[in-house]
């Protein structure tokens, strides 16, 4: 994989109130090989940019994607 650019971070609180998570995000270009899933049951699919936010599970991720859509 090749990093094209760094995207804005995502910050959110753990549901149990045990702190804050900060996620670093990057726009990548696939360059051969296979991508590995992080968790069993995860899915990896390629979709058009316009469809991506509709497929995300969490509202905060949908909002994040909408906010960076013009950067990608």
Domain ranges of the chain: 2-71
pLDDT along the chain (72 residues), means of 10: 90 81 86 81 82 84 86 76
pLDDT at 9: 93
Q: How many residues does the chain have?
A: 72
Q: What is the pTM of this model?
A: 0.64
Give pLDDT, residue 7: 92
State the alpha helices, DSSP H only, in the chain: 49-55, 59-68
Give the pLDDT confidence score for residue 6 in this predicted structure: 94
In 14-57, DSSP assigns E strands to 20-29
- Unique residue bearing structure tokens 């549901």: 15
Give the span between the Cα atoms of 54 and 2, in whole angstroms.
26
In angstroms and rounded to an integer, the radius of gyration of the C-alpha atoms of the chain is: 14
């Amino acid at each position: 994989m090749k990093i094209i650019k760094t995207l804005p971070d995502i910050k959110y609180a753990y549901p149990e109130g045990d702190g804050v998570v900060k996620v670093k995000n990057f726009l990548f270009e696939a360059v051969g090989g296979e991508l590995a899933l992080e968790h069993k049951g995860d899915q990896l699919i390629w979709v058009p940019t316009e469809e991506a936010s509709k497929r995300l599970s969490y509202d905060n991720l949908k909002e994040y994607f909408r906010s960076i859509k013009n950067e990608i």
